[in-house]
Amino acid sequence: FRKLGLSLAKDDIVQLKEAYKWIIHPQVSEELGVPADGKSLFEVSVIFAHPETEEECHFLATACPDCFKPAKNKQSVFTRMAVIKALEKIKEEDFLKHFPCPPSSPKNLCIALEIQCNNGAVFVAGKYNKYSRNLPQTPWIIDGERKLESSVEELISEHLIAEFKADSFNFSSSGREDVDVRTLGNGRPFAIELVNPRRIHFTAEEMKGLQQIINNSSDKIQVRDLQLVTRSAIGRMKEGEEEKTKTYSALIWTDKAIQKEDIAFLDDIKELKLEQKTPLRVLHRRPLAVRCRIIHTMKSQYIDEHHFRLHLKTQAGTYIKEFVHGDFGRTKPNIGSLLNRTADILELDVESVDVDWPPTLDN
Helices 204-217, 152-164: inter-axial angle, 10-degree rounding? 140
Identify the burial level of 84 via C-beta atoms within 10 angstroms of its C-beta, where 0-12 means exposed, 13-18 middle and 19 or more buried: exposed
Q: How far is CA 221 from CA 64, 140, 342, in A?
A: 57, 17, 34
d(C-alpha 237, C-alpha 123), whole Å: 13
Selecting among 167, 178, 180, 354, the annotated active-site residue is: 178
Cβ(248)–Cβ(178) below 8 Å: no
Annotated catalytic residue 178: yes
d(C-alpha 25, C-alpha 39), whole Å: 12
d(C-alpha 69, C-alpha 49), whole Å: 19
- 3-state DSSP helix/strand/coil % of the chain, to nearest 5: 30, 30, 35
d(C-alpha 216, C-alpha 154), whole Å: 15
d(C-alpha 294, C-alpha 332), whole Å: 11
d(C-alpha 299, C-alpha 205), whole Å: 41
List active site positions.
178
